[in-house]
Structure 1
């Protein structure tokens, strides 16, 4: 898709204090810039475009259609499915009639969906397709508040007789009828809205328990999005590919808030499997990807080198060496770009990037440096759902892979109760500060004090640059039984830079030394094993192969070489399955739930520290479709360093 790239000039944005809700700002844009393309969706290989005029027309139809079905001001509308224009239209439509919106992750299991519907008392749910409708119908009387279920994809829906079901096309028809009968109703409802109204209920990450619902006000949210645009400018016509789930706060910022202000073009991919191909076809101006996605791309690049000729491997290593040296000096190497990076950027759709960001979890410095050497203008950001997403980011060329940058102009960060090294709890505030947790006053009072959010994250301010450095969750910082303090997340991120490591969990809290449980990256390790002629049947079988253990041992030893001796990994094992949000082991944003891991893998952890060389496992795992499989295997415990290397005497000497 060849397009003229827009010039970076100072754009005219709508007045977010006057147009202080999403529907008001949308109405202004439709009047002033109705012809501008603001969304594209790929369907059956064709990109379908929508203008601001189309956007407002669909929102009007949805809003009045919902109103005709009994949805009133103060009700809650749920959104369940993949990133699609209909998702955004439904959200803004809910706000137009004074309802709140709550996004639910498309891969959420029935139990999670029921919890969120019950918590928010959702009255209407806009679903993508049959799969999502099935989840709701199977919940039966667990969700009595739901009176309307709108489905957008009619395929497979004829067999249902549930009276709550209505097609998206029928919803729009109802909206048109009501609009003809009462032509001023929609505009009147939009005008009644206030930026002080709670418009978005957004789930927190829920690393320790079920997610809470943060109440966000649209006026505060929009002002915070404008503050973000000051720190990381974007212009009308800039392309963004929506990849991360829309229920996540940062995708809300990019796809809904910033889009309405900066008038970017949001591109929705055809399918999850076509994401990278669609991204390359669009050639976006800016992207936001989770650390796991950046890690996967970096792993894929290195894995492809495994298939290449010795000459290409030599050129890759040479180009990376030159590129990393240039990146460390805050410049680009034209030679490395010529022989390597220009082609790499083109392959992944990064040729036109002027801004790239990562957030939601920590990223290892090695991955960050890899992309800067490649010429990708990657920046780290940091924030929380409660503060309307990110409120710190790297500015311009002031980039440090160890930090998350500086606060936005209208945001602030301080360190609470710092220790002798300046490390304490990160406390922040922004213009997008949440009003509190929905129906959870105790949690609100615990986290929100004197206008500041107590994040629960540990960090410090870099005295040289003034940047914020995030270490880990305060509760996750740990000490071994011998007094060695360590950050599990920091070491895990170093391990995940390896192309062969998909996930890692560092153990050692109140234990004699550090150990690791590692999940192999199936796509890469399986390819490696095929090249080596190693026979295997499935993930469990592959992870138990001696050659795979030897491969991962080299990777762990490489990480150990970069760590202080007292913080080195003494033992590791390879888990028989990948960690999975469906099993409660990870949050939907891929953060490790350490409490669940400690409980679920207690047998394996106990065996590591009991000095056993192998662990017999006989367990059953449940897949997303409800089917189960029995796993019987033996996990081998690999010893890298003798445990007495972590003795108190040695640590005291250090």
Structure 2
């Protein structure tokens, strides 16, 4: 069994103490694998410890003091994690930034967090940082680790990762015991990270999380599965997201499991196939995307393969449904399942790289029941977990008790109750400490008797499993009084391989539900080519009448599973994708509904006025920096069968 150091709580209450323990226990064993140019490079626990020691002492020699903030921006690469470990060891606080953050977002977070050092991957990130640096007087150094494009840069703020490490080696010569002393002095109550919320409803808040809260919450999550030191973890989600800490970085430190970092975001599928991880976290969008890939591959297969899929996928679906209900498969299905597994299911799992998955998990936005069932039909034991930056990990499925439609029962030492208003309230040792520089928001986040207000709507089923419904503020109600969950309907739309994203629209002043749909350009493009439908651009394809009929069929499929009053009656295929740089979605792809409703207010009004088209302006930024406005006539479509009971 994995030793998660519960019995050693007093001694191993910080992340750098876990790193030191692992160096002592597994010094020559592989800790990290990093892929570059198609080749995996290995680092032992001893290697990692030395890298972290040198960089940490380099930061200290540059003036990093306990409690000061070190921001890190870059892709999932060893240097990201080593920089974080180094900051922790020096009793600093890590502030993660998303790689696609624009300069104004970077400026806000660095200024608000009072960061003194920034560690960045490459020229792209350095350029953004130098653009805002004149407004950030606290920044002492910007440290880069990837040299491409940096040769000609000369700036007093800039240093390379290697230069800082060399300073650390020199500093160690005159301070030989300092690093170990700093680790020994670290305390569980020390703040480890400030995670900035996604800002779906306003300005991002800095959520302060202590070492002991992060470690304890991760230990509670690992109670769902037995993770061993020779298991593999792939970190591919943004390391600035708290979910990657809970189900990536910290399980690696707690159990000694080997951490893999991917080559490029574009190679994630290939990297997963090579790693075959035991633990992998995917947001709902990732799992929906993988299902779309499988569905598209099935559609593109030859007729013999398609016939096998058509005959044998239902076998997997039937067996999975029975198991999720706690029932044993009947003799017929039990006999057919090994055949289906050999010919169809296992090859699909191998294509996804999930043949050895112990804890494939989803968190974040709602995962629709169709997607959940489909993944289980492939023999992938997908667990739904529920948590947040402020609340830590709250609930999760156990392997022997997975129920679709729920996010599992509360984790050890976590209490959950539902308020009279239907809000999920949480009490546990793993809650955040406070919002950075926002005492009033911290006060509002808790009830008078100490329960954290999640802002989420939910209820319990008869088996003690929590059912997450939606954000309390986003639960919809039509003019008729009929209530609906936008996230539930949107996840149903995204199950379609031809839909990349969607926003459901309704409200108390509306008579029906409508949808703004973003087509999946790749899958719809392939479909159009198979059907010899010409198109030139994304905009052109999105407005083709044949595509409208394709999407209409998918909407009708979803409507069949919805109560008649809340079925989608009208929809549009937008001429451009939702863009985080334009404030449509967050960096983790959560919809910013208020922003979208404002931007497309004219289009939404046209939908409800019964119009057949609406002109929509879109700002376009050209390569030379110039901006222009492109006007597109967006067609509005009605769903004929939407009102049928």
CA distance in 1, matches of 2:580, 2:390: 22
Q: CA RMSD in A?
A: 1.7
Q: Which residue is 1:352 aligned to?
A: 356
User: Residues 350-429 of structure 1 correspond to what in structure 2 (within 5 A)?
Assistant: 350-388=354-392, 390-418=393-421, 424-429=422-427
User: Residues 67-466 of structure 1 correspond to what in structure 2 (within 5 A)?
Assistant: 67-330=60-323, 333-388=337-392, 390-418=393-421, 424-449=422-447, 450-463=449-462, 465-466=463-464
Q: By how many angstroms is 1:300 displaced?
A: 1.0
> Which ranges in structure 1 are unaligned for 5 or more consecutive residues?
1-8, 419-423, 647-653
* CA offset digits 1:1-26 (Å, max 9, x no partner): xxxxxxxx354747233121111121
Q: By how many angstroms is 1:526 displaced?
A: 0.7
Q: By how many angstroms is 1:382 displaced?
A: 0.4
CA distance in 2, matches of 1:16, 1:229: 15
- 3-state DSSP of counterpart to 2:356: coil
- 3-state DSSP of counterpart to 1:146: coil
Q: Which residue is 2:541 aligned to?
A: 542
TM-score, normalising length: structure 2: 0.95
Q: By how many angstroms is 1:255 displaced?
A: 2.9
Q: Which residue is 1:584 aligned to?
A: 583
Query: Which has the higher mean CA deviation after the structures are superposed, 198-207 or 597-606?
Result: 198-207
Asked whether the equivalents of residues 2 and 227 of structure 2 are also in contact (C-alpha less than 8 Å), the reply is no
Q: By how many angstroms is 1:617 displaced?
A: 2.3
> Which ranges in structure 2 are unaligned for 5 or more consecutive residues?
324-328
Q: By how many angstroms is 1:628 displaced?
A: 4.2
Asked whether the equivalents of residues 381 and 392 of structure 1 are also in contact (C-alpha less than 8 Å), the reply is yes
- 3-state DSSP of counterpart to 1:375: coil
Asked whether the equivalents of residues 556 and 641 of structure 2 are also in contact (C-alpha less than 8 Å), the reply is no
Asked whether the equivalents of residues 231 and 409 of structure 1 are also in contact (C-alpha less than 8 Å), the reply is no
Q: Which residue is 2:326 aligned to?
A: none
Q: By how many angstroms is 1:537 displaced?
A: 1.2
CA distance in 2, matches of 1:275, 1:70: 38
* CA offset digits 1:262-301 (Å, max 9, x no partner): 1111100111111111111111122111111111111111
* CA offset digits 1:201-249 (Å, max 9, x no partner): 1112221112211111102221222122122331111101111100111
CA distance in 1, matches of 2:623, 2:610: 35
Q: By how many angstroms is 1:622 displaced?
A: 4.0
Asked whether the equivalents of residues 17 and 223 of structure 1 are also in contact (C-alpha less than 8 Å), the reply is no
Q: Which residue is 2:489 aligned to?
A: 491
Q: Which residue is 1:634 aligned to?
A: 633
Asked whether the equivalents of residues 133 and 139 of structure 2 are also in contact (C-alpha less than 8 Å), the reply is no
Asked whether the equivalents of residues 41 and 270 of structure 1 are also in contact (C-alpha less than 8 Å), the reply is yes
CA distance in 2, matches of 1:301, 1:628: 38
CA distance in 2, matches of 1:324, 1:534: 33
Q: Which residue is 1:594 aligned to?
A: 593
Query: Which has the higher mean CA deviation after the structures are superposed, 442-451 or 534-543?
Result: 442-451
- 3-state DSSP of counterpart to 2:375: helix
Q: By how many angstroms is 1:627 displaced?
A: 5.9
Asked whether the equivalents of residues 243 and 289 of structure 1 are also in contact (C-alpha less than 8 Å), the reply is no
CA distance in 2, matches of 1:456, 1:626: 40
Q: Which residue is 1:57 aligned to?
A: 50
Q: By how many angstroms is 1:486 displaced?
A: 1.1
**1:11 and 1:199, CA in 2 relative to 1: closer, same or farther beyond 3 A?**
closer
Q: Which residue is 1:650 aligned to?
A: none
User: Residues 488-527 of structure 1 correspond to what in structure 2 (within 5 A)?
Assistant: 488-510=486-508, 511-527=510-526
Q: By how many angstroms is 1:314 displaced?
A: 2.0
* CA offset digits 1:602-643 (Å, max 9, x no partner): 010011111111112233134899564543321111111489
CA distance in 2, matches of 1:578, 1:539: 9
Q: By how many angstroms is 1:322 displaced?
A: 1.0
Q: By how many angstroms is 1:397 displaced?
A: 2.4
CA distance in 1, matches of 2:498, 2:626: 28
Asked whether the equivalents of residues 79 and 126 of structure 1 are also in contact (C-alpha less than 8 Å), the reply is yes
Asked whether the equivalents of residues 383 and 399 of structure 2 are also in contact (C-alpha less than 8 Å), the reply is no
Query: Which has the higher mean CA deviation after the structures are superposed, 209-218 or 326-335?
Result: 326-335
CA distance in 2, matches of 1:630, 1:337: 52
**1:394 and 1:625, CA in 2 relative to 1: closer, same or farther beyond 3 A?**
farther
**1:51 and 1:430, CA in 2 relative to 1: closer, same or farther beyond 3 A?**
farther
- 3-state DSSP of counterpart to 1:245: coil
**1:10 and 1:175, CA in 2 relative to 1: closer, same or farther beyond 3 A?**
closer
* CA offset digits 1:550-569 (Å, max 9, x no partner): 10010001111111110111
Asked whether the equivalents of residues 2 and 229 of structure 2 are also in contact (C-alpha less than 8 Å), the reply is no
CA distance in 2, matches of 1:410, 1:623: 53
- 3-state DSSP of counterpart to 2:390: helix
CA distance in 1, matches of 2:185, 2:206: 24
